[in-house]
Structure 1
Amino acid sequence: MISLAIKFAWRELRGGLKGFRVLVACLALGVAAIAGAGSLRAAFDAALAEDARALLGGDLDIRQTHQPFAPEMLAALAGLGRVTQGVEMRAMVQVDGNARRSLVELKGVDEAYPLVGRLELSSPMPSPFAFHDGAWGAAAEGNLLDRLGLKIGDEVNVGDATFRINAVIAKEPDRIATALSFGPRLMVANGAVEATGLIRPGSLVRHTLRLLLAPGTSPAEAKAELARRFAEAPWQVRDAAEAAPGVGRFLDTLASFLSLVGLTALLVGGIGVANAVKAYLDGRIGTIAILKGLGAPSGLIFTTYFLLVGLLAGLGILLGLAAGAAWSRWWPDWAPSAFPWR
């Protein structure tokens, strides 16, 4: 009976999909939304895992608020691999006295920065952060220059220090590792941050260390060693698995939202599916009556149309899965204009 039901269902399909287009469309739309959310999350996870060390700036990222790292801590870290030390804080940039100003994310770096990846500047210079002619060198994001009407070579004031804009930051490899930003980046030398006079008791200053481990040492081993030797240290240690926690939370939220949209589409589309199936079967009452009159059992008729509806539902699901899988390939073409970290 199954083979005969398959034959009858195939003959029904030869008449076209008229009456079942709504069923296929509703299922394809809902499944595409759910599959797209999953494939998008998987694609981002793969991209973050592939570039985790560059996004973090090394194998380990160590941060400490308010107080600098003790010399014995620096010595212990230097024994594990290459180290770059930095300072991050929020500050106010002033131009022409106080006529123009903007909040910036001030970042001090040393000569070893970056350990992984490449800092790309629009105007490469041998030493863009050096002190010269009464002003420290600095590199700024382009939107800071646009906001304040600045150009390369102009000078700005931050606290007690004067900075000359020597370059525009085209790419900062570890910017995504910063949890929260309130302004454009202004990058200077470590000594220039101290020259601003803004590091005072109570100032919100983050001292950072990026560690590139020596061959043969794993991040887990290094973290265990640091926890053993400096159990009371007030620092926060992250490895490549936690390179971009903020982005991970955003992607989880986005995937959950898209999955909810897909489930809602399937729920609403279920009404359309039910109506489409009912309308189709109502139109086939004559055919069903003829089959019954010729002695076809009810089981054969039920199996025939069950297979027909199931086949078309499978078609809608396959179309939705294909669209969802293609979404992760289309997304990167749109993402650079939508997300600042690209």
Structure 2
Amino acid sequence: MVDWAWSIKMARREFRKTGVKLVLFVSAIVTGIAALVAVTSFGDNLSKDIDEQAKELLGADLLLKKNQPIEFPEIEEIASKHALEINFASMVYFPKAGDSRLTQVRALEGDFPFYGTLETIPENAESDFRSGGKKALVEKTIMAQFDAVVGDFIKVGNVNLEIIGALQKVPGQTGITATVAPAVYIPMDQLEASGLVQYGSRVNYNHYFLFPESYALQTLIDENKELWGEDRVNFDTVQSQKESTGRSFENLSNFLTLVAFIAVLLGCVGVGSAVNVFVKEKLPSVAVLRCLGVKALDIIVVYLVQIFFMGLLGSIIGATAGALLQFLLPIVFSDFLPVEVTVQLAWGAIGMGIVTGVLISILFALIPLLKIRKVSPMMTLRPDDQSTNIGKDPLRLFVLIGIVVFILLFSFFLLGKWDQTLWFTGFVVLSFGALWLLAMGVMKAIRTFLPISLNYPVRQALSNLYRPNNQTVSLLATIGLGTAMIGTLFFIQDQLLDEVRFADKEDQPNMLFFDIQTNQVDSMKAVLDAEGLPILQHVPIITMGVSEVNGLTKKENEALKDEDRRSRSFYNREFRVTYRDSLINTEELVEGELIPYTTNSDSIFVSMEEGYAERNHMKIGDEIVFNVQGRPLTTYVGSIRKVNFRRVSTNFLVVFPDKVLDKAPKFHVLITKTKDDKASAAIQNTIVRQFPNVSVVNLSMIVETLEDLLGKIGFVIQFMAFFSIITGILVLISSLLISKFQRVRENILLRTIGAERKVLIKINILEYLFLGSLAAGGGLILSILASFLLSYFVFEIAFSLAWQPLVLVFGLITALTVFLGYVNSLNILKAKTMDILRT
């Protein structure tokens, strides 16, 4: 049995002399706990605000949407209010700037939003807009891009509209959405005059409804759900919007919490390393206590009590810092948030942070504390023999298992899915294991193969990596894993950007014109030819739906078992198809063959994209009945194609043979390539002025938008990874301070035998140069492995290694480690020789 009274009393006495060192032991977990509490509190507050502001996210009680005109007279009679929004992608021309931009045009009729407001500058712009006339509300981001101000004019199709206000906020829209698809609101009475809604235009019709509070909306949905499905009408309610938004941001919150959890684990490695040094210094005292008959368990409890209270103190400090830090997070994540986040104390998150910090402090401290069980009373007679055979202690294995189980359970608590939990835990264990093996391998290699002929400072610095009280393992683990996170971020971000930097590649087009009507094709080609631009592709596009697959209608498909049922979207989606008898350079035939259509043949064989066919259980020979503007067309799957959707081209899920759809109503796409951005802007503005209904995709602008988007995402991840780096630095600083006395002794002895000051400084700098480069190198190797796996399995892109960020990260981490080691060495060299020799 443990003598608790004696252990607590001894812990209190011991703390008077070792309290400062134990404060350093737990300082490393403060940053991780702060990040964990801040992110968890932010997630709790965000979840609460999404619940409270769910109506403002949708702006109505019910949204019914379809890509064709449709009316709901029965529902309009029941509803208190009804609003209609017709939205589509279209070019908007800014005459003052002489430039244009693809935007999301929204023609609005009614008082939408019913919850919340269209926030504008000036504030009265919304009410002025609703009175109708030639007015527009324009997203503030696009106004800033073209230096537009209130009072300027824009051209939307054939109509000129005055900008009467800048849109600050739209229901459910985030800063990211505004960057990718900026909105321009126009009154409904100006839509026809714009001439933009023609055949082939990709138009969405959104009907918003407000109901009396007492109305049973769910009953209405249950009664009409099947009918809406048959008519391809999608619906959203406040509850469904809340759930979908909540799921999206729950995933974000969980990811950020896992990143913070890694920072906590890094701090705990520092705790374990610090306790290891602490225990080594206490082994002679432990041997004396063992001579007096004190049991090893009682001595372990003495130090565990101290670790518990210091861990509690560190966790409380970290939780307090996290509670304050959460005030900063809404600013960091502002571009991603669809709601206003109210910051308040989340006591559940604070409690979880404190408990987590204390628990893992004890778990990681147990491994070095187990050495006490092996201390022999004979050590009092042989104080220099401090070796302990801890490697064979079976309790150590149980502690390691306990740590892994804790990481596993905590990860599952955050993620809720075992597959993701196992991947995350596996990554953590693999990373720590790989860095530990690297540290142990380096120490063993130096001890075994260190050449005696090496320069003295170099040999001495290398020897310090394996001598007593070395920090090689802890620093490689903490700084290495932090480096791995930063490196992975840089590599993946660079690869994703490289995938979309197609505008500057010689073999890639950079201008795409769509929504071209059949009677405009020849005129468009003439304009491009006059500008000396090649027609790289001319693609006709026909819209259609699916009525039957292998004789099964949508209703019959719904009655099948899950494993036999095709996706509901297969029947609901509107397919855009083309026709040709050959493959293009983004396609590869993997099964079957392209079978041309002849007038003598009764069968039409279509080609399907490999992934889509696989997801919907389609195979060669399957029958599909398409609905082409009301006319049924029976076809058969004749081939399966692999399509590279990452390359710039008109890629399709379904391709018909030539001569089948020649007379079907269609619109067209033309693709060309300009020499530079100036030429792109010139032809874009020419086309918009002559053909207002034609939309232009400037791929150079898409690249800029994606770079901006990835930059914002990268900043958020860097912000969270920063906590891991800070934790690694704190571990480094605490490790230097903890081992300071041992380093002072070593330096004094070297000075006593004649070593000069500059030699001692050189030894310290070289030691931390080796440590920093090993940690950074090990972390970068892990980041390269992680980047390869993410590229191959998640993003499905070709892996390529960017040397510039690799060298940058390596250099910065190594330089920081050397700098901190150098600063510490200056303090060590100030110690007086006689004071240490007397000690």
Provide the TM-score with structure 2 as the length reference.
0.37
Q: Letter of the 1:117 partner, please give it.
A: G
Which residue of structure 2 aligns with residue 83 of structure 1? 82
Cα distance, 1:255 vs. partner? 2.4
Which residue of structure 1 aligns with residue 64 of structure 2? 62
Cα distance, 1:335 vs. partner? 4.7
1:33 aligns with 2:32: no
CA distance in 2, matches of 1:62, 1:162: 30
Cα distance, 1:92 vs. partner? 0.6
CA distance in 1, matches of 2:144, 2:328: 31
Which residue of structure 1 aligns with residue 116 of structure 2? 117
CA distance in 1, matches of 2:323, 2:231: 46
Instruction: Work out whether residues 37 and 322 of structure 2, in 8 Å CA contact, stay in contact via their aligned partners in 1.
Output: yes
Q: Letter of the 2:61 partner, please give it.
A: D
CA distance in 1, matches of 2:107, 2:42: 35
SS of structure 2 residue aligned to 1:261? helix
Q: Letter of the 2:105 partner, please give it.
A: L
CA distance in 2, matches of 1:153, 1:180: 21
Which residue of structure 1 aligns with residue 321 of structure 2? 323
Structure with more of its chain in helix, by fraction: 2
Cα distance, 1:98 vs. partner? 9.7
Q: How does 1:4-19 map to 2 (within 5 A)?
A: 4-15=6-17, 17-19=19-21
Which residue of structure 1 aligns with residue 92 of structure 2? 93
**Pair 1:202–1:179, CA change in 2 (3 A):** farther
Q: Which moved more, 1:136-145 or 1:252-261?
A: 252-261
Instruction: Work out whether residues 179 and 246 of structure 1, in 8 Å CA contact, stay in contact via their aligned partners in 2.
Output: no
Correspondence for 1:47 among 46, 49, 60: 49
Q: Which moved more, 1:8-17 or 1:81-90?
A: 8-17
SS of structure 1 residue aligned to 2:17? coil
CA distance in 2, matches of 1:97, 1:270: 60
CA distance in 2, matches of 1:202, 1:140: 25
Deviations 1:78-125 (A, max 9, x none): 414322111111111113399311122211111322211122332425
CA distance in 1, matches of 2:266, 2:333: 29
Q: Letter of the 1:26 partner, please give it.
A: A
Correspondence for 2:156 among 140, 158, 170: 158
Instruction: Work out whether residues 103 and 182 of structure 1, in 8 Å CA contact, stay in contact via their aligned partners in 2.
Output: no
Deviations 1:182-220 (A, max 9, x none): 332211112322332221222211111222221212443
**Pair 1:68–1:181, CA change in 2 (3 A):** farther
Q: Which moved more, 1:266-275 or 1:233-242?
A: 266-275
**Pair 1:215–1:260, CA change in 2 (3 A):** closer
Q: Letter of the 2:214 partner, please give it.
A: G
Residue ranges of structure 2 left out of the alignment (5+ in a row): 341-839
Q: How does 1:192-203 map to 2 (within 5 A)?
A: 192-203=190-201
SS of structure 1 residue aligned to 2:85? strand
**Pair 1:153–1:308, CA change in 2 (3 A):** closer
Correspondence for 1:312 among 288, 294, 310: 310
Percent of aligned pairs sharing the same letter: 22
SS of structure 1 residue aligned to 2:90? strand
CA distance in 2, matches of 1:84, 1:181: 26
CA distance in 2, matches of 1:194, 1:108: 10
Cα distance, 1:159 vs. partner? 1.4
CA distance in 2, matches of 1:163, 1:83: 25
**Pair 1:325–1:282, CA change in 2 (3 A):** same
CA distance in 1, matches of 2:166, 2:77: 31
CA distance in 2, matches of 1:223, 1:160: 39
Instruction: Work out whether residues 97 and 147 of structure 2, in 8 Å CA contact, stay in contact via their aligned partners in 1.
Output: no
**Pair 1:34–1:162, CA change in 2 (3 A):** same
SS of structure 1 residue aligned to 2:29? helix
Q: Letter of the 2:12 partner, please give it.
A: W
Which residue of structure 1 aligns with residue 135 of structure 2? 137
Aligned length: 335
SS of structure 2 residue aligned to 1:62? strand
CA distance in 1, matches of 2:179, 2:238: 20
Deviations 1:266-316 (A, max 9, x none): 443343222211111222234323333333232321221222223323333
Q: Letter of the 1:206 partner, please give it.
A: N
Cα distance, 1:22 vs. partner? 4.2
Larger Rg: 2
Cα distance, 1:225 vs. partner? 3.0
1:293 aligns with 2:291: yes
CA distance in 2, matches of 1:173, 1:60: 14
Correspondence for 1:260 among 251, 258, 261: 258
Cα distance, 1:64 vs. partner? 1.5
**Pair 1:93–1:172, CA change in 2 (3 A):** same
**Pair 1:87–1:97, CA change in 2 (3 A):** same
Which residue of structure 1 aligns with residue 733 of structure 2? none
CA distance in 2, matches of 1:112, 1:274: 62
CA distance in 1, matches of 2:144, 2:178: 22
CA distance in 2, matches of 1:107, 1:155: 17
Instruction: Work out whether residues 139 and 186 of structure 1, in 8 Å CA contact, stay in contact via their aligned partners in 2.
Output: yes
CA distance in 1, matches of 2:150, 2:268: 60
**Pair 1:14–1:184, CA change in 2 (3 A):** same
**Pair 1:262–1:198, CA change in 2 (3 A):** same
Cα distance, 1:264 vs. partner? 2.6
Q: Letter of the 1:255 partner, please give it.
A: S
Q: Letter of the 1:205 partner, please give it.
A: V
Cα distance, 1:37 vs. partner? 2.7
CA distance in 1, matches of 2:75, 2:175: 23
Residue ranges of structure 1 left out of the alignment (5+ in a row): none
Q: Letter of the 2:294 partner, please give it.
A: A
**Pair 1:309–1:88, CA change in 2 (3 A):** same
CA distance in 2, matches of 1:242, 1:293: 70
CA distance in 1, matches of 2:178, 2:120: 23
Deviations 1:50-93 (A, max 9, x none): 1110121012222212x0223xx243244143221111111111
Q: Letter of the 2:87 partner, please give it.
A: E
Correspondence for 1:232 among 205, 230, 233: 230
Q: Which moved more, 1:89-98 or 1:39-48?
A: 89-98
Q: Letter of the 2:288 partner, please give it.
A: I
CA distance in 2, matches of 1:15, 1:297: 22
Which residue of structure 1 aligns with residue 552 of structure 2? none
Instruction: Work out whether residues 50 and 245 of structure 2, in 8 Å CA contact, stay in contact via their aligned partners in 1.
Output: no
CA distance in 1, matches of 2:263, 2:175: 36
CA distance in 1, matches of 2:176, 2:202: 15
CA distance in 2, matches of 1:13, 1:209: 70
Q: Which has the higher contact order (CA 8 A, sep 6+)?
A: 1
SS of structure 2 residue aligned to 1:194? helix
Instruction: Work out whether residues 62 and 237 of structure 2, in 8 Å CA contact, stay in contact via their aligned partners in 1.
Output: yes
**Pair 1:54–1:271, CA change in 2 (3 A):** closer
CA distance in 1, matches of 2:132, 2:38: 51
What CA RMSD, in Å, does the superposition of the two structures yield over aligned residues? Answer: 3.0
Correspondence for 1:212 among 187, 210, 213: 210
Which residue of structure 2 aligns with residue 243 of structure 1? 241
Instruction: Work out whether residues 62 and 210 of structure 1, in 8 Å CA contact, stay in contact via their aligned partners in 2.
Output: yes
Instruction: Work out whether residues 37 and 255 of structure 1, in 8 Å CA contact, stay in contact via their aligned partners in 2.
Output: yes
CA distance in 1, matches of 2:184, 2:143: 10
CA distance in 2, matches of 1:83, 1:131: 17
CA distance in 1, matches of 2:321, 2:96: 56
Provide the TM-score with structure 1 as the length reference.
0.84
CA distance in 2, matches of 1:278, 1:76: 72
CA distance in 2, matches of 1:245, 1:196: 37
Q: Letter of the 1:262 partner, please give it.
A: A
Structure with more of its chain in strand, by fraction: 1
